[in-house]
């Protein structure tokens, strides 16, 4: 019986430790995104890919937490079928800002493109509203850590007859 108790305690401790590690990873990513302050942004009719490239480049330049060039910045993924995305969403991003956090820039890009954006185990992922950030260009599966921005749901329109208390009988 003691062995079973030790095994259960060990499993619970490992689960708690892995939960703490996950929480620490989420907090570390959030702090990193908030610590990148971009001095000046001027998007004028830019598309999603151009804005993503700009954001990624600035994270690489402004990341003073990492000396290893291979680990600098943060991966930012956009819908992997960009051509299909462009056919569905004609978005030109127009935005000016000074001294904005990367978090707020990502929110603004997502808002203007009608996309959700999440932090995940593989980086920041933009995806269609309500869709999973996986699979993506970097991984077929992974963990979604936090939602940075979610496209607001549009209110459902009520049937006109239902509003007036009218009912329909028959075919």
Tens digit of pLDDT for each residue in 103-114?
999 999 999 988
Provide the whole-model pTM. Answer: 0.74
Element (H, E) at 96: strand 93-101
Tens digit of pLDDT for each residue in 106-141?
999 999 988 999 999 999 999 888 888 988 888 888
Cα 140 to Cα 25: distance, rounded to the nearest angstrom: 20
């Amino acid at each position: 019986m003691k062995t079973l108790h030790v095994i259960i305690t060990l499993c619970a401790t490992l689960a708690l430790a892995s939960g703490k590690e996950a929480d620490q990873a989420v907090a570390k990513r959030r702090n990193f995104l908030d610590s990148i302050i971009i001095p000046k942004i001027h998007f004028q009719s830019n598309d999603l890919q151009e804005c993503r490239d700009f954001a990624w480049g600035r994270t690489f330049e402004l990341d003073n937490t990492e000396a290893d060039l291979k680990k600098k910045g943060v991966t930012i993924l956009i819908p992997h079928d960009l051509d299909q995305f462009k056919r569905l969403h004609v978005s030109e991003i127009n935005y000016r800002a000074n001294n904005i956090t990367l978090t707020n820039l990502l929110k603004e890009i997502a808002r203007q493109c009608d996309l959700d954006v999440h932090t995940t185990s593989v980086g920041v992922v933009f995806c269609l509203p309500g869709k999973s950030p996986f699979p993506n260009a970097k991984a077929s599966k992974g963990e979604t850590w936090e939602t940075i921005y979610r496209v607001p749901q549009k209110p459902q329109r009520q049937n006109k007859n239902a509003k007036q208390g009218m009912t329909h009988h028959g075919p």
